[in-house]
Structure 1
């Protein structure tokens, strides 16, 4: 057994043994310590804790530790939104004033409850070789994805703002020619007439057509195509298409084109205005687009600080009440003993 930690009963037995035989044999105590292979500082540390249980390395409660009701609130909220990660849950609870904690605290609570699943991930190469936009409408990503409705494939075309992840415009069509792409982009430009973004697309036939190049030139925009056979180059929009299919199109199973358009329109409203996006600090894309992100981050920090201060004050008040109770109990005991002594003297 390592000498760095031993049970308190064995530790006390060593103290008793060395002191007993040091007296009987008149051998110096330091000699016994060296024979046992224990450092003198450790031996005298054991001697100072003689008869005490090993609690010197135990956890010390902190003022800002979560309360049990807050832990239960985190677990209950996770059970309502099991498909969302712990970071998104953190800021959802913060914005709804359910509980103000940090993502690491939520992770610890869910891990302790066995509700947090972990998996190995490859090292991310996100952002390498690509200059990210610094303001809205610098980059618009455009792509076309297939949607299967009752055995018929339709085309879902989406324009996404690369800075805020806001869905600028989308359409679900039966065909997707170069003319359709121009119509979709023109409708997007009508929503933001002052925008002159760089269009980022893949090498689809609609985007390499001469008419599309002429349209880009006439509107004053620029166009960049991603590397062939490398969809990660347009990963922001590829990830969005995966999200909308996973959370909207496949679970709801639309039975007609109009029903699918209604469902997608409702989901995109939720995606733009309510859903917390992990890539932009767990805020809604519309808030990021309209520049409310810093105010939201500031309010979240203030809520966290206020919650920590409130928990600290609660524990301080509890300690003060316990101290007062102990003082009152001691005073009552002294008063009782005094009365007993006076009674004895009088008798």
Structure 2
């Protein structure tokens, strides 16, 4: 495909070549008429004489010979290590005595999937899915988080003083529910992960999604005891919501909420050196609102989750 400033298209090349070959125009006059160099005019005229009209098409700029290309034997070794060990370019390069950029080019040339797209245990390409409408599936999970002692932890006081100050600080449990289609999230910081606490959280999360005009149909959780309890089962049954559980030892099945957990830690929990647990908790509602209403999501083409929830109250605030 010609670049935007190319003086000749395929049709223009054909007219130029015919003027020279069939019309008898000199190279210099033809070059002046079509605003190109005599060398360019000569090239298209020669191609027309040799190949005819099909010679006016663009050709690949790839060289006929690449004497410095990575040897085939080395390429095979790179591919073998990648397939068997599922290593990245840096580790493969260290093993084989190569440069990481060379390994990366070989992997790209042969279309090998990125490690982030593979299941590390089996090497199979991860099949990503997305539900068709809000509420069709909601992911639920709990993240355990160490509390910040009064006066701050090691990020504020230094590692030695922070370690002493952290004694008996305890833990918090972040219960989170994420809609599969929109990635709209509801989250609370609670004192434990007991069955009564989990059931109470879901009642409030369900009320939140209902207020957003989202009808929850199914809920996906891991196989924790709290999600196998009668309290959890009865809470969902009362609202006519189906309960699905992930396969054992396969947390990626609950990937939407599992991916939100590190984002939550990076952008809120560890985003700055808080001086107390209460200070960090006070910042949580603001961060969650920003995540739902303003923060661009890569899976949503850079738009926030609320962009997929029509008529949501406060969507544009």
1:162 aligns with 2:194: no
- Offset, 1:189: 2.0
TM-score (norm 1): 0.48
Counterparts in 2 of 1:214 and 1:248: CA distance versus 1, 3 Å: same
1:235 aligns with 2:228: no
- Offset, 1:256: 2.9
Q: Which runs of 5+ in 1 are unaligned?
A: 1-40, 42-46, 58-117, 293-347
Q: Structure 1, residues 71-130: CA drift from partner, whole Å, max 9, x if none? A: xxxxxxxxxxxxxxxxxxxxxxxxxxxxxxxxxxxxxxxxxxxxxxx9x823454545x6
Counterparts in 2 of 1:252 and 1:220: CA distance versus 1, 3 Å: same
Match of 2:276 in 1: 256
Q: In 2, distance between residues paired with 1:140 and 1:207?
A: 14
Determine helix, strand or coil for the equivalent of 1:224. strand
TM-score (norm 2): 0.52
1:244 aligns with 2:264: yes
- Offset, 1:48: 3.8
Counterparts in 2 of 1:253 and 1:52: CA distance versus 1, 3 Å: same
- Offset, 1:219: 2.0
- Offset, 1:54: 5.6
| Kept after mapping to 2: 8 A contact 1:137/1:162 | yes
Match of 1:153 in 2: 171
1:177 aligns with 2:185: no
Q: In 2, distance between residues paired with 1:121 and 1:145?
A: 27
Q: In 1, distance between residues paired with 2:40 and 2:285?
A: 60
Counterparts in 2 of 1:255 and 1:197: CA distance versus 1, 3 Å: farther
Q: Which runs of 5+ in 2 are unaligned?
A: 1-19, 21-25, 44-107, 119-124, 149-165, 313-317
Match of 1:142 in 2: 140
Structure of higher CA gyration radius: 1
Where in structure 2 are the equivalents of 1:319-338 lying within 5 Å?
Answer: none
- Offset, 1:53: 7.4
Determine helix, strand or coil for the equivalent of 2:268. helix
Equivalent pairs, count: 188
Determine helix, strand or coil for the equivalent of 1:158. strand
Q: 1:273 aligns with which of 293, 300, 307?
A: 293
Counterparts in 2 of 1:256 and 1:53: CA distance versus 1, 3 Å: farther
Counterparts in 2 of 1:177 and 1:281: CA distance versus 1, 3 Å: same
| Kept after mapping to 1: 8 A contact 2:138/2:216 | no
Task: Return the structure number with greater helix share.
Answer: 1
Counterparts in 2 of 1:155 and 1:257: CA distance versus 1, 3 Å: same
Determine helix, strand or coil for the equivalent of 2:281. helix
Counterparts in 2 of 1:52 and 1:190: CA distance versus 1, 3 Å: closer
User: Structure 1 residue runs of 4+, over 6 Å off?
Assistant: none
Match of 2:225 in 1: 205
| Kept after mapping to 2: 8 A contact 1:196/1:220 | no
Q: In 1, distance between residues paired with 2:269 and 2:39?
A: 59
CA RMSD of aligned residues (A): 3.4
Q: Structure 1, residues 117-176: CA drift from partner, whole Å, max 9, x if none? A: x9x823454545x6x321111111100012223343211111111110001x21112212
